[in-house]
Structure 1
Amino acid sequence: MEIVVIDGQGGGIGKNIIQVLKEKHPEYTIIGIGTNSMATTQLKKGGADIIATGENAVVYNVKHASIVVGPIGVAFANSMYGEITPAMANAIGESEARKYFIPVSKCSAQVVGVASKSISEYIDDLVVMIEKLEK
């Protein structure tokens, strides 16, 4: 299974996602894509098998992924202080991959009905959802 993890800013959420996925499922191929070099470095430290940076990396890789994961802001153009370009958000939206987003309170987009949890609790929920796909 090929999973694309996208993150920006400092890359901490993506790093944590990758660490948990790799710990539980080392067989997954994880492509870490940062919107900036700092985020990409963190994704590599988290254990991503492949890393890339920037708009074209997002646009290209989400076309081929089984799953796309990231903080909710990656789905919205100009979010994350402008790091998510319209082309990135469009490519993510048009991708046929399953998409799982971690709700982040710093983002101006909020999902009604989502319980307030820690990032680590959301990541645990994410892993369970991905595991269910394989059954």
Structure 2
Amino acid sequence: MKIAVIDAQGAGLGQTVIKRIRKEIYEETYIIGLGTNTIATSNMVRAGANVGITGEKAICSFCDRHNIDCIIAPIGIMCNCGINGEITTSIAQSIFQMDCAKYIIPLRKHNIFIPGTRNLEIKEIINEIIIDIKQSIIQ
């Protein structure tokens, strides 16, 4: 199974997700860390990603050319200028157009609020993602 994890800034969330995937479903996964900057990418590779890809052009090229099973990211990747401006229109569009499962983590930042997610902790959301990925491996 090929899983892409995209994050920006220091990739704190991306690192957490990758570490959990490695802990829970290590052998069945190939993880690609997509970072908007070198710090984010290197932190995701240190967390256990098999490979890291950095920057707008490289991320868009990856999204256009590769087939993956799923992508995991914070909600900001769906918005132009999301994650403090690090998500460009091209990145958001490339990710949205990918033909794969998209696990979007609903962080309450930048005035984006998804009803029904108020009481969920990041840990619970990541647990749900891991469970769903495991089920898709079995099928």
Same fold flag (TM > 0.5): yes
Structure 2 equivalent of residue 97 of structure 1: 100
Number of equivalenced pairs: 135
Structure 1 equivalent of residue 111 of structure 2: 108
For residues 123 and 46 of structure 2, the distance between their equivalents in structure 1, rounded to whole angstroms, comes to: 17
CA contact (8 A) 1:4 1:31 kept: yes
Secondary structure at 1:131's aligned position in 2?
helix
Structure 2 equivalent of residue 123 of structure 1: 126
For residues 10 and 37 of structure 1, the distance between their equivalents in structure 2, rounded to whole angstroms, comes to: 9
Please list, as runs of the form range in 1=range in 2, the aligned pairs for 1:1-135 lying within 5 A after superposition: 1-26=1-26, 27-63=28-64, 64=66, 65-134=68-137, 135=139
- Which has the higher mean CA deviation after the structures are superposed, 68-77 or 116-125? 116-125
CA contact (8 A) 1:6 1:68 kept: yes
Return the offset for 1:115: 4.2
Specify every segment of 5 or more residues in structure 1 that has no aligned partner in the other structure, as ranges: none
Return the offset for 1:61: 2.4
Return the offset for 1:90: 0.3
CA contact (8 A) 1:4 1:61 kept: no
Identity of aligned residues (%): 33
User: TM-score when scaled to structure 1?
Assistant: 0.93
Return the offset for 1:109: 2.3
Moved over 3 A (4+): none
Specify every segment of 5 or more residues in structure 2 that has no aligned partner in the other structure, as ranges: none
Secondary structure at 2:80's aligned position in 1?
coil
Return the offset for 1:32: 0.3
Distance 1:76 1:70, change over 3 A: same
CA contact (8 A) 2:25 2:134 kept: no
Return the offset for 1:66: 1.4
For residues 41 and 99 of structure 2, the distance between their equivalents in structure 1, rounded to whole angstroms, comes to: 24
Return the offset for 1:97: 1.1
CA contact (8 A) 1:62 1:68 kept: no
Cα RMSD after superposing both structures: 1.3
Structure 1 counterpart of 2:16, which letter? N
CA deviation map 1:63-121 (0-9, x unaligned): 42211111111111111111000000000111111100111112432222224222222
For residues 109 and 46 of structure 1, the distance between their equivalents in structure 2, rounded to whole angstroms, comes to: 28
